[in-house]
Each structure stands twice: as structure tokens, then as C-alpha cells.
């Protein structure tokens, strides 16, 4: 997990790639949850959502600086 300062200093394209990857992983976890009604590691879903929110915040802060 990256700190906020590390995320803000990353290039925008790299953040967008990470965001897309996290969104795909969250979708897969939600699909697994809807099919089997349980996850092997339920904490991963919460952690990935928080990471995605951090990345979105970093992207918005970068846009605000421009």
C-alpha cells in the first residue's frame, strides 16, 4: 500500500493504470461474492476499495494543482 505522498508524486498515467487494475479486481471479487456468497479473504475487498479511493484522491489533487 502506498502512502498519499507517494501516490501524488506518481505520474498520472501510472495512477490511471493502477486505478483500472484495482477496479477490475474489485469487480472480480464482487462477482465471486455474488456467486458463492462468501470470499476466501473478505478483507481484500475493503482494502482494494480504500486503495482505489486513495488513487482517485491523488488524481484529483494532481488536477487541482494544474
Distance CA 51, CA 43 (A): 12
Indicate the average pLDDT of the chain. Answer: 93
- What's the total number of domains in the chain? 1
Out of 1-10, 15-24, 27-36, 46-55, least confident range: 1-10
Q: Among 36, 51, 65, which Cα is nearest to 6's?
A: 51
48 pLDDT tier (thresholds 50, 70, 90): very high
Q: Which domain holds residue 36?
A: 4-65
pLDDT for position 1: 61
Residue 18 pLDDT: 96
Amino acid at each position: 500500500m502506498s502512502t498519499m505522498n507517494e501516490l501524488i508524486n506518481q505520474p498520472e498515467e501510472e495512477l490511471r493504470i493502477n486505478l483500472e487494475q484495482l477496479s477490475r479486481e474489485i469487480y472480480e471479487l464482487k462477482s465471486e461474492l455474488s456467486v458463492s456468497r462468501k470470499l476466501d479473504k473478505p478483507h481484500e475487498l475493503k482494502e482494494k476499495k480504500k486503495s482505489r479511493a486513495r488513487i482517485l484522491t491523488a488524481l484529483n489533487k494532481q488536477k487541482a494543482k494544474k
